[in-house]
Amino acid sequence: MPDTPPAARPAHHPPPPATGPDPLRLTLADFAEAARSRLEPAVWDFFEGGAGEERTLAANTEAFERLLLRPRVLRGTAATPDTTATVLGRSWDAPVAIAPLGYQTLAHPLGELATVQGTAAAARIPVVISTFAGRDLGELATAGGGPLWLQVYCLRDRSTTRRLIERAEETGFEALVLTVDTPHMGRRLRDLRNGFRLPDGIAPANLGGHDFAVPAAHARAEFAPALDWTVVDWLRSVSALPLLLKGILTDSDAVRAVRAGADGIIVSNHGGRQLDGVPATVDVLPEIVTAVAGRIPVLLDGGVRRGRDVLAALALGADAVLVGRPVLHGLAADGSRGVTDVLNILLAELTDTMALAGLGTLADTGPGLVRPATAPGTPALSAPHR
């Protein structure tokens, strides 16, 4: 049959418009694959890798696999569920923010600029810009995106740290995120084996000063190594912006954060890149939520890859989640358009899950939505075949 086109589409599936998302990229995993084929292997390893044996990295996604949903039926749920969330007094289109990811210019020349614009094209949700962003804060602030937050690595040189924060405040950033799990970088064996160095032209755009080709060497040289809780007071003296602490993993530190005056915490193990052997974030979330008892918002990152992961984290008490690597995948695959597509997929999965689980709004989520991971006989869903 030489005249038959090889992959004719059935008539009831019209081809997507040329401007729509790539029909072959239906999941965040599809974007990961696309990114992998485009990136230098050592850059891919830098993005994907974790510390040590990567047990924590694997645990983050595996923990979400174990959380099975308990849908409700006949609840008169609207066809289009409402994903709006309120965090720190602001309304977000969805309970999702973009995690701070250093050196996004490694994934795409436009780096954070494409992330900010690509995010805004999908939803009004915050983008957290890393201390190690590859693009200028002022440029990002005027890029026409949504709310921007600044992630802060407190440096030995407090005046540089202070100037970075002041610049963010002047250009309209809305919150600060102090990363507290990184006195230095974890032992990332992939990077050590690859001898990973930043390519020429990849440098932090907002720090001035020295450039280091090896990120871990930069951290060793310039991160403040012996921070204690008084850093919260110092940040308060520098800026009036709301302050979140990122990298809390225990109930006692969560309570300390509340007492220290943090406006929010992010339950995070840095995507498995810092201390290998700590639990998956979603596994420690319930005890932290109990300890915080609603006094400040509790956000979570690590392993969020599907709409149902967002919902499961909210059911276990998170106010919102952040996504990290999938944003780099979208960026590497297709620049700002790829970021938009990744977020649109995640948000479409979120509304689909809400509708099918009988949730009209996020207020309808609660512990009853998930089977506890510890329930006897709870089977893990096996990893999908790729």
Ligand X SMILES: Cc1cc2nc3c(=O)[nH]c(=O)nc-3n(C[C@H](O)[C@H](O)[C@H](O)COP(=O)(O)O)c2cc1C
How many CA atoms does the CB half-sphere of 264 hold within 13 Å? 21
Nearest one of 159, 87, 163, 158 to 128, comparing CA atoms: 87
DSSP H stretches of helix in 277-364: 281-292, 307-315, 325-357
* Residue that is written with structure tokens 């000063």 in the block: 209
Map tokens 């990973």 to a residue: 196
Residue 325: name its binding partner from ligand X, ligand 173, none (Cβ under 5 to 8 Å by kind): ligand X
Site map 76..115 versus ligand X, x via CB under 6 A: -----------------------xxxx-------------
Provide, rounded to whole angstroms, the least separation between the CB of residue 76 and ligand X: 34
Q: Hey, which residues are catalytic here?
A: 270
Binding map of ligand 173 across residues 118-137, x = CB under 6 A, - = no contact: --------------x-----
User: Within 18-57, which residues bind ligand X (CB under 6 A)?
Assistant: 47
Residue 247 to residue 254: CA distance in whole angstroms: 10
What distance in Å separates the CA atoms of residue 64 and residue 302, rounded to the nearest whole number?
10
Residue appearing with tokens 């639990």: 279
> Binding string, 86-125, against ligand 173, x = CB under 6 A?
----------------xx----------------------
- At position 297, the amino acid (one-letter code) is P
Residue ranges for the known binding site are 100-102, 130, 151, 153, 179, 188, 246, 268, 270, 273, 301-305, 324-325
Feature table: binding site for glyoxylate:
153, 188, 270, 273
Written as six digits, the tokens of 311 are 């919902």
Contact of residue 215 among ligand 173, ligand X, none (CB under 5-8 Å per partner type): ligand 173
Other C-beta atoms lying within 10 Å of the C-beta of residue 115: 30
151 binds, among ligand X, ligand 173, none (CB under 5 to 8 A by kind): ligand X
Binding flags for ligand X, 294-323, as an x/- string (CB under 6 A): -------xxxx------------------x
How many residues sit close enough to ligand 173 to count as binding (CB under 6 A)? Answer: 6
Q: Are 197 and 203 in contact (CB under 8 A)?
A: no
Cβ of residue 250: shortest distance to ligand 173, in angstroms? Answer: 20
Min. distance of Cβ 300 from ligand X in angstroms? 9
Give me the DSSP letters along 55-71. Answer: HHHHHHHHHHHH--B--
d(CA 385, CA 341): 23
- Cβ-closest position to ligand X: 324
Calculate ∠ Cα 227-104-155, nearest 5°: 20
Could you tell me if 222 and 210 are in contact, meaning their C-beta atoms sit under 8 angstroms apart?
Answer: yes
Measured from the CB atom, is 77 or 343 closer to ligand X? 343
- Applying CB under 6 A, which of residues 218, 270, 308, 329 lies at the interface with ligand X? 270
User: Which DSSP symbol is given to 361?
Assistant: B
Which amino acid type is present at position 272? G
Q: Which stretch binds ligand X (CB under 6 A): 3-11, 81-89, 189-197, 266-274?
A: 266-274
Which residues make up the interface to ligand X (CB under 6 A)? 47, 60, 99-102, 130, 132, 151, 179, 246, 268, 270-271, 273, 301-304, 323-325
Where does this chain bind ligand 173 (CB under 6 A)? Answer: 102-103, 132, 215, 270, 273
